Each structure stands twice: as C-alpha cells, then as structure tokens.
Amino acid sequence: MRRSSSLQLRGLLLVGVLCFVSGLIWAHAIIVESRPGINDVITGPILEIKLRFNVRIDGARSRLTLILPDGTSRPVDLPQQVSPDSISATVPQIVPGSYHLHWQVLAGDGHITQGDIPFSVATQ
C-alpha cells in the first residue's frame, strides 16, 4: 500500500511540474489592446500607436515598423517604456492610404513574438 501512495504522489508531482512548464512555454506576448486596431480607419496627420500585451515586455528590445502605402517600410522610434506591458509611439505626417504596423517584442519569458496590424488612413 505504501508503494502505491508513493507512486501516486510522484505522478501528481510530475503532472504539476508539466503544467507549470507548459504554462511558461506558452506565455508568449499576445496583444490584448491595440491602437490602431486591426482594419481600423483613422484620420491623420498624426498616428498614435499603443500596443498592450498580456505579459511584461522588454521595451528596449521591441521594434515597430510602419509599412507605407507604397510598400516601403519606416522604423518607428519608441520612446521610454511607460508601462511594463505596453509600448507606444507617435508618427507625424502620415498620408491617406493602406498601412501595416509590424510589431516585434521580447516577452519576459525570453521569447520573441511578432505580428502585423493592417489599418487605413482616410482623407480628411
């Protein structure tokens, strides 16, 4: 009977460790709020960007790139990170057209996550 209890305890411990480790593995940064949002239509001439994630991110190692209507790309300067789970920036003088905001962040778990947010700027 004692051996059976020991095996059960080890089994429960193993399941607990696996659940904990799998939680860490899947703890990538996921956007929970974005401005602009996917397929938003905004007015210019100033683009206000704010991305908030489900985990802490390293703002110093994060990158934003704006893909312009003509297909060229423009890096977006990121000021000092104000919140541990967010990055924000301002882009002046944007013109009407279709854009993509490409983001790349380093999460607290050490994994890099990236994605794109398509949006449009309407004529005023």
pLDDT tens-digit profile, the chain (124 residues): 566 665 565 655 444 444 444 344 456 899 999 999 999 999 989 999 999 999 999 999 999 999 999 999 999 999 989 899 999 999 999 999 999 999 999 998 899 999 999 999 998 7
CA distances from 104 to 17, 24, 63 (A): 30, 19, 5
Q: Residue 27 has which token pair?
A: 């703890």
Q: H or E segment at 25? A: helix 2-25
pLDDT at 67: 98
pLDDT at 123: 85
Q: Cβ contacts of residue 95 below 8 Å, gap of 6+? A: 44, 45, 69, 121
